[in-house]
A and B are shown apart, each in its own frame.
Chain A
Amino acid sequence: MRLAIERLAVERGGRPLFSGLSFTLGPGELLVVEGRNGAGKSSLLRAIAGLLHPSEGTITIQSEAIAGRTAPQPEQGPAGPLCHYLGHLDALKPTLSLARNLRLWRHVEGAPDMTIETALEMVGLDGLGSLPAAWLSAGQKRRAALARLLLVRRPLWLLDEPTAALDIAGEALLGGLIVRHLSAGGVAIVATHQPLPIPASTTLMLGAPQR
């Protein structure tokens, strides 16, 4: 998996957030995006995912070769179903049980990876699958959102403030999940204020430095 961003510019409501942004990421690389509030960290992730149209620039993605076949040609355009996007919201239906909530996301495009039980175990929510999502704490909901990343394999992870509401053990767990993803040849872009428990390959500072 290779991701190349060239001269990317994003504006919100006519106000430019950033422009001329270029970087490339190869297999196993982690990019940490930092910057003050409103610098455009979330917008950058949403633009790469395809949830927001950049005003300028190109996104090029070359997904990995699959078992003996040559790697497909690089394709221009947002990541779409090639990425896992973890936003500020946890996308859990409060009345449905945790396992039912996750069941839907096992069918999305991508190679199936883990069963729901294993994924819940990985994020430390084992035994809670039958609980309605409304009963979970903020941190547990965040862990459930992390479990969703494990159900189906997608080469690009776009994580927006993934440590929000997580406890210390949760942060370590997140670090472990990212390392696992990277060592399988994946690419991750994490927008965060908190220092991550794992070293970044590259750090990107968006916007003017904090005053």
Chain B
Amino acid sequence: MTLFLALVRQTIRAAFGQGGGAFTGLLFYFSVVATLPFAIGPDPATLSRIAPAMLWLGALLATLFGLDRLFQDDRDDGGLDLLVLSGLPLSLVVLAKSLGHLVATGVPLLLGAPLFGLMLGLDAGAIGWNVAALALGLPALTFIGAIGAALMVPLRRGGLLVAVLILPFTVPVLIFGVAAAGAETSQPMLLLSALSLAATVLGPAAGAAALAAALD
């Protein structure tokens, strides 16, 4: 258990360290939101109508772009071999690394989202719903993404391929996420939570299988 927590901590610390990329996602998110009004036009009514969709698209891409390094760094520096021999089940290794990534990239995104919502002309109530929906949906994005990151370990230059591979599987999260942010009912929010819970269980198991297959 202490190893699990130590691994979560180390992943967070490495992500926030120099070149770790925790804030790169946030910067990317900001760039998407900040350039949008130049493309769409400055009409506040239009902007606030598409704001939930943009907030979700930005968060989705920002989460996926950081994911390719999740296991690749450990593979490249030899740490993955040692984690396999650490005595911690591989699925818990995947869970710990994903949780660390979720905290390191998800929390900055959640902190940035209210500001970005404001930039797109959302009112306070809508911002609250959007951030709540993001908070519920980010675990699903991360754990689905972890499967892709683990699958790409044997390919030395996975890079963007992880994002492309994972993108179709994140479409349900996107649909329910945008729906939850704008809906009067709680159903999309509940479905979003269900997706996150299912991904939290399936992601580590599938990721561990992918890593085990990549070992040889």
Interface residues of A (CB under 8 A from B): 46, 49-53, 79-81, 83, 85, 87-93, 95-96, 100, 103-110, 148
Contacts and interface: CB of A to CB of B under 8 A. Distances in A.
A93 B10 contact: yes
Given A53-B216, A87-B81, A96 B87 contact: no
Contacts of B73: 93
A90 B87 contact: no
Interface of B: 2-3, 6-7, 10, 13-14, 17-20, 73-74, 76-79, 81-82, 84-88, 215-216
A87 B75 CA distance: 12
B10 A91 contact: no
A175 B72 CA distance: 33
Nearest to A93: B14
A95 B18 contact: yes
B21 to A, nearest CB: 11
Given A51-B84, A87-B78, A88-B78, 15 more contacts: A51-B85, A51-B215, A52-B216, A85-B81, A89-B76, A89-B78, A89-B81, A91-B78, A91-B82, A93-B77, A96-B14, A107-B6, A108-B82, A108-B85, A108-B88
A7 to B, nearest CB: 20
Interface majority SS (helix, strand, loop, mixed), chain A: loop
A175 B70 CA distance: 36
B85 to A, nearest CB: 6
A104 B6 contact: yes
A91 B215 contact: no
A162 to B, nearest CB: 13
A110 B88 CA distance: 11
28 contacts: A52-B215, A53-B216, A81-B85, A81-B86, A81-B87, A83-B85, A85-B81, A85-B82, A85-B85, A87-B78, A91-B77, A91-B78, A91-B79, A93-B10, A93-B14, A93-B73, A95-B19, A96-B14, A96-B17, A100-B10, A104-B7, A104-B10, A105-B86, A107-B2, A107-B3, A107-B6, A108-B3, A108-B87
A119 B85 CA distance: 20
Contacts of B2: 107
A107 B88 CA distance: 10
A157 to B, nearest CB: 12
B87 A109 contact: yes
Contacts of A88: 78
Nearest to B14: A93
Q: Which of A52, A81, A83, A110 has the most chain B CB within a 10 Å cutoff? A: A81
Contacts of A103: 6, 10
A169 B118 CA distance: 62
Contacts of A87: 78, 81
A96 B13 contact: yes
A4 to B, nearest CB: 20
Contacts of A95: 14, 17-20
B86 A108 contact: yes
B87 A110 contact: yes
Nearest to A158: B85
Contacts of A91: 74, 77-79, 81-82
B13 A100 contact: yes
Nearest to B79: A91
B16 to A, nearest CB: 9
A90 B76 CA distance: 10
Nearest to A107: B3
A110 B81 CA distance: 17
B77 A90 contact: yes
A27 B18 CA distance: 45
Closest A-B pairs by Cβ, 3 of them: A109-B87, A89-B78, A95-B17
Nearest to A87: B78
